[in-house]
Amino acid sequence: MSTHHYYQLQGYFRELIELKTLKSGSKLPSEREIGEQFKLTRVTVRQALQNLEAEGLIYRQNRKGWFVTPPAVIYNPSSHLSFNLYVTEQGFLPHTEKLMQQIEPANAYIAQLMNIAESAPVLYLHRRRYINQRPVLIEKMYINLNLLPGIEKEDLTQSLSQLLKNNYQREYRDMDLVFKSTSLPSSAANELGISAGQPGLHIERINYTDDKQVLEVDYEFWRHDAVNINIAIRD
Amino acid sequence: MSTHHYYQLQGYFRELIELKTLKSGSKLPSEREIGEQFKLTRVTVRQALQNLEAEGLIYRQNRKGWFVTPPAVIYNPSSHLSFNLYVTEQGFLPHTEKLMQQIEPANAYIAQLMNIAESAPVLYLHRRRYINQRPVLIEKMYINLNLLPGIEKEDLTQSLSQLLKNNYQREYRDMDLVFKSTSLPSSAANELGISAGQPGLHIERINYTDDKQVLEVDYEFWRHDAVNINIAIRD
DNA sequence: CAGTGGTCTAGACCACCAG
DNA sequence: TGGTGGTCTAGACCACTGC
């Protein structure tokens, strides 16, 4: 096992990355160059690279090349910090892009959660979020317009928790969270520039107000190598 | 994109699985048979199968074949239920196998957490856990012998939380959790029969007593397709 | 033993990116 | 336009499984 060619190649690059000879964000040689250097075919080179990708050490940009993965951000849902805040606090540069926004009728699941009629309007918001220019997260959310009337007129690239606090005197409190490690839906993978079949992290989050109403339902699709989850459970 | 051969093949099997024409746990045709049927080479067939594996729909048993993934268990750390209990409650059959057990000197990290001297003895326990005969989880834990003297003489394939409750009048309370979506260390992958480079879920857990002492530090390596994490955050 | 997946070769053409 | 990764072919040999 340890003698396989792809395995040795993984070890070679893993060492270069750990020693910082290959620095975070830098580009690897092309697959053909690596193959030439080690007398391997592209198939074998790609297997090694794909394994390192699954490990989270490198990632690819579609048809541009392979790059060393930058450090992951730590996401602690129980801290109630906004994306902008915790990313900034950890020394990274956050950025948010709105891909779509529309008022639409609630589906059965959302309506039931929000305790509204089954086609009552909710605000659907679809965003892409970046850390240091790298797209890491697709967010699709459904926002309760009964609790947050007029929110659709605000600038929805900003932090929602800030907006809630400043304009509605509301804050995130209780949450229900579901985590799944699975490949991303192809739409989200495309929007992140991830090739199909790569692993991802899927988070579903229900945010409640302090009086137990559902403020927002959130679906997050993360690059698996961009985030670690920390949670403290205190009863 | 949608016209690629491997993509169509994925759609074909995804549909069979969703329609339950291919039932949970059943075996797919061999890679060569699939290739013959669709006039594709094994490389292409394997790409489709590997993508479905990342999606969590199928998994492989080393050199035996590809199988339809059974439903995932829901793991809710905040419920404080033991593995045996939550697996059973969800209609599955749990099983635990002890791979190794020894008393060893604490490393710096563990010693600091447990507030003991740096080579004071701790109990190291290494287990493999199954759901319906399928190995899904490797557990490596360090147990505080100061708080649980003599625990090394007990049957350590049983539920630790039961043991703590019955023999030591202790219960799990607060926890710190870290989740990472990454490929598993090769040792854990081997013990689970997972081929290198497949994604996995890595959980680190620190368990505290009700008086804030560290009872146990736990490293869990899960098959990514075997578990969903649910957490309720209530401040 | 035959059949399985695991590894690997030596090519090919394509879509897309950068200069 | 030349170079990149993305997809794919048509083979081969090996290690291991199950009969």
Q: Beta carbon of A64 within 7 Å of strand D?
A: yes
Q: Beta carbon of B34 within 7 Å of strand D?
A: no
Catalogue the long-range contacts made by B99-107 (C-beta closer than 8 Å, 24 or more residues apart). Answer: B99/B126, B99/B127, B99/B128, B99/B191, B100/B124, B100/B125, B100/B126, B101/B125, B101/B126, B101/B152, B101/B156, B103/B145, B103/B152, B106/B142
Provide the sign of the torsion angle of the four alpha carbons A160, A163, A165, A167, taken in this order: negative
Tell me the pLDDT tens digit for each residue of B144-184.
999 999 999 999 999 999 999 999 998 888 999 999 998 88
**Could you identify the residue whose CA is nearest to the C1' atom of nucleotide C6?**
B63
Whole-angstrom CA distances from B159 to A104, B87, B94, B114, B188 are: 48, 12, 11, 22, 21
Helix (H) or strand (E) holding A38: helix A31-38
Which of B49, B48, B54, B59 lies closest to B24, judged by CA? B59
**Would you tell me how many other CB atoms lie within 10 Å of the CB of residue B67?**
17
Q: What percent of chain A has pLDDT over 90?
A: 85
Q: Which positions on chain D have an atom < 7 Å from some protein CB?
A: 3-12, 15-18
pLDDT at B195 over 90: no
Q: How far apart are CA A213 and CA A114, in angstroms?
A: 7
Interface of A with B in 118-177 (CB under 8 A): 173-177
Instruction: Give residue A235's pLDDT.
Output: 77
Letter string b/e over residues A173-203, b meaning 16 or more CB atoms within 10 A of that residue's CB: bebbbbbbbbbbbeebbebbebebbbbbbbb
- At residue A2 the predicted structure's pLDDT band, cuts being 50, 70 and 90, is low
B118: phi then psi, degrees, rounded to nearest 5: -70, 5
Mean pLDDT rounded to a whole number for chain A? 94
- At residue B2 the predicted structure's pLDDT band, cuts being 50, 70 and 90, is low
pLDDT at A46 over 90: yes
Instruction: Give residue B173's pLDDT.
Output: 87
Inter-chain residue contact A235 with B200, CB threshold 8 Å? no
pLDDT at B22 over 50: yes
Inter-chain residue contact A199 with B197, CB threshold 8 Å? no
Tell me the pLDDT tens digit for each residue of B122-139.
999 999 999 999 999 999
- What's the average model confidence in pLDDT over B99-128? 96
Which candidate in B51, B173, B181 is best for mutational testing of the A interface (most A CBs within 10 A)? B181
Q: What percent of chain A has pLDDT over 70?
A: 99
A84: phi then psi, degrees, rounded to nearest 5: -55, -40
The pTM assigned to this predicted structure is: 0.92
Instruction: Give residue B1's pLDDT.
Output: 45
pLDDT at A196 over 80: no
pLDDT at A1 over 50: no
Whole-angstrom CA distances from A132 to A94, A136, A162, A228 are: 6, 10, 21, 17
Which of A135, A139, A140, A138 lies closest to A62, judged by CA? A135
Q: Is the Cβ of A228 closer than 8 Å to some Cβ of chain B?
A: yes
Four-point Cα dihedral A9, A15, A21, A23, nearest 10: 90
